[in-house]
């Protein structure tokens, strides 16, 4: 078994470090955050993921995994750092990838292998990371191996998917690819596919998520068309999917997570050919505005209303809020009414926000101290509408009769189509589905 240094102990890096350690590799998990290092050293996992704490504890107690705030020499360096998304420029921030490369460079030895797992724009491994590593005086592909192996897991089932999902590996040359394949073969149970180069591997990961995003955009546009014809979009989509060559995804409030709302922009970062894909992004990002239009239509406007948003996680039954459609909807609702300036007797100016809708948030899976999350009863007390923005199992079990006692106006926008519409209608609610 080999020695590894995993750079970045977040959603991907920590499970990856524990996975290699539990398959008998000697692993050092490195992170620049003192808080992360301290918490992990104390046996705490800093984000929610089923089974992860026990998995990490097993790796640490076996002494195969060590948590450190220092980079060490290792046969394999695996980079699992974030690539922040700039909403204004629609571009990836590669500063963490660059920093990881700079941290590895002084420790790089002939025969070592560096693998980038972070999701990045095509060309990053060869054009950004390689020159940084070669400051060591070693040549990629000759003196050390350099490859890209993108992760393709979903929060909520990361440990299983790390083992069972197929992997795609592309190196700067054949020797680099083979070196990475040998490492991942130690635990990956699915097929490992190789590509001609690292850029192809980067490209494949991005088009996987771009396809899903574009498919959801088609579903969302179908949902809006179906609304105009007063038909159930989901029934129509389900019947259309009976054709063996049709597979339309489900409509909803938009898409979230670090991948689907971001990867299409990464794909086009170094190209001028983003067209249909760009429009699909705009359709999905526009679903929060579409929900606001429904609320306005159903409530006769939003002035002096209270809207309860159920679900600020980006997907059902997880606590991950990255690029959350529910939070995006909350931000846009708060900005929906123009604020009026009132001249005060002392000559000052005060902003009147009394006509803006009041927004409450409820999510049983999210534990984020920066969000003002309320209990179910507190969130709906005096509310005019509930918006179901995430398909948590708990929301399917809500008793409409109980909830109706707290509400001012019985409107529900079920953007995930998880409620029993007949039951809710029977209890006096107006249910609008997407």
Q: Any idea which residues carry the catalytic annotation?
A: 205, 259
Q: How far apart are CA 234 and CA 112, in angstroms?
A: 52
Q: How far apart are CA 115 and CA 378, in angstroms?
A: 48
- 276-285 vs 287-299: helix crossing angle, rounded to 10: 40
Is residue 409 a contact partner of residue 432, using CB atoms and an 8 Å limit?
no
Q: Which residues contact 45 (CB under 8 A, 6 or more apart)?
A: 14, 39, 52, 53, 56
Q: How far apart are CA 415 and CA 108, in angstroms?
A: 50
166: buried, middle or exposed (CB in 10 Å: 19+, 13-18, 0-12)?
Answer: exposed
Q: How far apart are CA 197 and CA 171, in angstroms?
A: 5
DSSP 116-167: E-S---TTHIIIIIHHHHGGGSPPBTTTBEEEE------TTSHHHHHHHS-E
* 3-state class percentages of the chain: helix first, strand second, coil last, to nearest 5: 40, 15, 45
Q: Which residues contact 67 (CB under 8 A, 6 or more apart)?
A: 9, 28, 29, 31, 37, 40, 41, 60
Strands 411-414 and 26-30: unpaired
Q: Which residues contact 54 (CB under 8 A, 6 or more apart)?
A: none
Is residue 126 a contact partner of residue 199, using CB atoms and an 8 Å limit?
yes
Is residue 323 a contact partner of residue 263, using CB atoms and an 8 Å limit?
no
Is residue 115 a contact partner of residue 6, using CB atoms and an 8 Å limit?
no
């Amino acid at each position: 078994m080999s020695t590894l240094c995993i750079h970045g102990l977040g959603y991907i890096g920590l499970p990856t470090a524990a996975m290699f350690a539990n398959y008998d590799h000697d692993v050092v998990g490195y992170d620049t955050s003192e808080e992360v290092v301290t918490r992990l050293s104390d046996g705490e996992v800093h984000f929610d993921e089923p089974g992860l704490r026990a998995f990490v504890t097993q790796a640490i107690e076996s002494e195969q995994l060590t948590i450190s705030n220092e980079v060490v020499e290792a046969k394999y360096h695996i980079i699992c750092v974030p690539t922040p998304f700039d909403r204004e420029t629609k571009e990836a921030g590669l500063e963490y990838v660059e920093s990881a490369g700079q941290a590895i460079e002084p420790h790089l030895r002939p025969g070592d292998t560096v693998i980038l797992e972070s999701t990045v724009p095509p060309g990053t491994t060869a054009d950004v990371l390689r020159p940084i590593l070669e400051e060591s005086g070693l040549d990629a592909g000759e003196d050390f191996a350099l490859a890209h192996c993108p992760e393709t897991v979903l929060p909520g089932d990361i440990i299983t998917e790390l083992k069972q999902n197929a992997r795609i590996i592309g190196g700067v040359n054949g020797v680099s690819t083979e070196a990475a394949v040998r490492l991942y073969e130690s635990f990956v149970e699915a097929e490992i596919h190789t590509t001609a180069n690292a850029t192809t591997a980067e490209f494949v990961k991005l088009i996987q998520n771009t396809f899903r995003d574009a498919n959801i955009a088609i579903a969302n546009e179908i949902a809006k068309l179906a609304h105009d014809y007063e038909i159930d979009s989901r029934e129509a989509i389900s019947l259309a999917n009976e054709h063996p060559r049709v597979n339309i995804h489900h409509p909803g409030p938009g898409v979230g997570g670090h991948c689907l709302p971001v990867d299409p922009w990464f794909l086009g970062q170094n190209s001028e050919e983003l067209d249909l894909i760009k429009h699909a992004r705009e359709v999905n990002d526009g679903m929060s505005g579409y929900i606001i239009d429904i609320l306005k239509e159903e409530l006769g406007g939003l002035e002096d209303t209270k809207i309860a948003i159920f679900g600020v996680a980006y997907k059902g039954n997880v606590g991950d809020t990255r690029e959350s459609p529910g939070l995006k909807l909350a931000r846009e609702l708060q900005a929906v009414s123009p604020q009026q300036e009132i001249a005060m007797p002392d000559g000052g100016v005060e902003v009147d926000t009394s006509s803006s809708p009041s927004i409450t948030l409820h999510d049983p899976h999210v534990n984020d101290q920066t969000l003002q999350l309320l209990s179910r009863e507190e969130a709906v007390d005096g509310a005019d509408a509930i918006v179901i923005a995430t398909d948590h199992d708990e929301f399917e079990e809500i008793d409409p009769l109980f909830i109706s006692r707290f509400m001012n106006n019985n409107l529900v926008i079920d953007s995930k189509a998880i409620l029993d519409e007949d039951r809710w209608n029977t209890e006096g609610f107006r249910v609008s589905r997407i």
